[in-house]
Structure 1
């Protein structure tokens, strides 16, 4: 028993390290969007292609990742994914020297391809490595690692990339084209040294995972629902309605999480909040999310169920989205900021409710779940386009989150219970 507990904690620590890496490379987009907007002279729509390109890789590569994992197993898949991520971050170096935006986007796509492979392995691994009713708690722990990394990333790299953004933006107006190009070239090179370090760290973590004693987990052990009832294995993942609806729920949950982090800085700019203040808002959002993850890890499943947490989060999200729309200035920004609290409760609960009872379908189901992350990229781009379209009333852009939270509310009340397409037999 003691050996099993030790192995469990060891595995939890290794996967926690990977989630730290996820957080660093995912939430850096919150800095890259305003950074590229300045050095590439982009619109909000063009800048938010950063998020779309990253999440599009999840959509394209998740199913191939599931195929790779079937051949390699979870551990080797994680190692290969880390190496691909390092290749993507290295591409940022020539992109910075040439100041070519599509090359940056290519680097993001390759990095996200590696992330898709690692996440397709790590998320189901953490979901099925222990009792299914504790999935939200375990993913809560992973969320803590993810958000601590994001806070560290945004605080450190935000101070490097955006520290003099206000002064640069104001000085550009008085420069001729040659001087302006030189100033922007210099600004673009801020990214080089940090990304060299990031690439080295990724390869080091890949080596650590490779030489670790991370065990494979038994997928078939996940073949029960939350009440411990055995579910018959089915021919296709499409025969599990609560999974299909869970994929949709995770699609919109990605939007609910990405907009308050990746979109909040440009939202602050649209509200005429100076960059010197706006650049900190992504970090503040992650602090709020970190608090939410800590709360979930304490409460679930001992005091409250995963579905109750999801119900609360969706209602809280709806209320704050409405508040964001009806307020203005800094108050509207703070309302969007506090949406991070509801967003922190979505991921783990949806994974826990959607992946139960899948047995041998777990890897493929996980791939579909990872594919759904494109929702964060699509909705963030639409959010940026709405900011451009309704520049005089940017609050309109947040209304896109209303249908997202409504669907999550449906899933938390009824959708997760749907065992068959014609009945709702899971209770």
Structure 2
């Protein structure tokens, strides 16, 4: 386990990285309605754009973990930003060709870059300090990530104009390419110390009883798949990412479907509500609230929020998505420490498994698009209920299984 040092500078830089992840994903919330209008793409097809962003997590989650093992966290982060720059170059070409298929390819490439970046930064922030306060650190990162979601649509609208077409996306995307290349260079120079989890370093003697205990438990395993709490945690992330992505990426589209004025303004509901939950986590964890209890409370809130969205009318339904957002807020910060605990030498491989769980952003979101086409935009949110019910199982039981 990393010693309890002053990691203010690394945490500040990591906050910038988490912001860039949210910024890249937030572009989809603008592209979905734009593609529906410009290319006459149905809802299921448009939300396939978001699905293409998450599919790479399943394909490249494990290779990304192996790259972290091979070249370390910092160089993996730099490689990820280079991938992002290339991906936005493909997006520019897609916009000029007005090709939905090319947009899917570009989204897949963006998702690949994000898979490598997430595989590096999530375990890093988890083990950067004491494991029982990991949710607090991840909550800080979460604020940076979620507030970036609505920033990217506003940035593109500011640069391309209020009523732009897909052929006018080249200017904002060129700026984004330059930004991501700069972040890649900056990451190589950033003061990010190499950190290891408890029991991860087999070449050194354990310096604490905790390290010795974790090493003994982890060394008794021969495969990463022998940690049931990790596998169940990856499945919890699958459902969580799917439900949270729906709450983040569908607000503009849902507000338009309900005929509400200035639909773009509703994109702030989810990020702001999630940030409220993150601030609560920063204040309460671990002094007043354990990571486990926070996850249990948030799961209940998310279930209530889902019922409100599907049962309440009009604006009340839209604003109820904010309740789901509050519930989602401390799920991600709790999943990582609860799922990665006691992995020892399997820590980096374990982070790969958890990263692969982000494929839920593709599967669940695509199902939402199908449900929307067949049952209407409001009833489509029923898809979130079984997701949160499984997370409730993990919160109360699954994370304890060894």
Decide: shared fold, TM above 0.5. Answer: yes
1:163 aligns with 2:141: no
1:270 aligns with 2:242: no
Which residue matches 2:94?
95
Which residue matches 1:378?
363
Residue 193 of structure 1: how far off its partner (Å): 0.8
CA distance in 2, matches of 1:304, 1:264: 31
CA distance in 2, matches of 1:221, 1:30: 41
Q: Where does 1:11-30 land on structure 2 (aligned, <5 Å)?
A: 11-30=10-29
Report how many residues are paired. 389
CA 1:116–1:61: 2 relative to 1, 3 Å: same
CA distance in 2, matches of 1:238, 1:400: 28
Residue 331 of structure 1: how far off its partner (Å): 1.4
Q: TM-score scaled to structure 2, two decimals?
A: 0.92
1:405 aligns with 2:383: no
1:60 aligns with 2:59: yes
Show CA shifts across 1:214-262 (max 9, x none). Answer: 21112345699xx958231121122111111101111111022111111
CA distance in 1, matches of 2:323, 2:184: 35
RMSD (CA atoms): 2.0
Q: Mean alpha-carbon deviation: is it higher for 11-20 or for 47-56?
A: 11-20
CA distance in 2, matches of 1:188, 1:384: 21
CA distance in 2, matches of 1:318, 1:18: 30
CA distance in 1, matches of 2:199, 2:172: 42
Which residue matches 1:202?
180
CA distance in 2, matches of 1:161, 1:411: 44
Which residue matches 2:123?
124
Q: What are structure 2's unaligned runs of at least 5 residues?
A: none
Which residue matches 1:244?
231
Q: Where does 1:38-77 land on structure 2 (aligned, <5 Å)?
A: 38-77=37-76
Q: Where does 1:70-85 land on structure 2 (aligned, <5 Å)?
A: 70-85=69-84
Residue 280 of structure 1: how far off its partner (Å): 2.1
Report if the CA contact (8 A) 2:278-2:330 is conserved: yes
Residue 139 of structure 1: how far off its partner (Å): 0.4
Q: What are structure 1's unaligned runs of at least 5 residues?
A: 165-185, 420-427
CA distance in 2, matches of 1:109, 1:100: 14
Match for residue 328 of structure 1 among 293, 313, 316: 313
Which residue matches 2:399?
416
CA distance in 2, matches of 1:158, 1:97: 18
Q: Secondary structure at the match of 1:135?
A: helix
Show CA shifts across 1:167-205 (max 9, x none). Answer: xxxxxxxxxxxxxxxxxxx71123111110000000001
Show CA shifts across 1:65-118 (max 9, x none). Answer: 112112111111111111111110111111111111111121111121111111
1:339 aligns with 2:324: yes
Which residue matches 1:174?
none
Residue 160 of structure 1: how far off its partner (Å): 5.8
Residue 162 of structure 1: how far off its partner (Å): 8.2
CA 1:213–1:323: 2 relative to 1, 3 Å: closer
Which residue matches 2:379?
396
CA 1:151–1:5: 2 relative to 1, 3 Å: farther
Q: Mean alpha-carbon deviation: is it higher for 329-338 or for 136-145?
A: 329-338
Report if the CA contact (8 A) 2:269-2:319 is conserved: no
CA distance in 2, matches of 1:358, 1:292: 28
Report if the CA contact (8 A) 1:154-1:283 is conserved: no
CA 1:288–1:155: 2 relative to 1, 3 Å: farther
Match for residue 313 of structure 1 among 273, 281, 298: 298
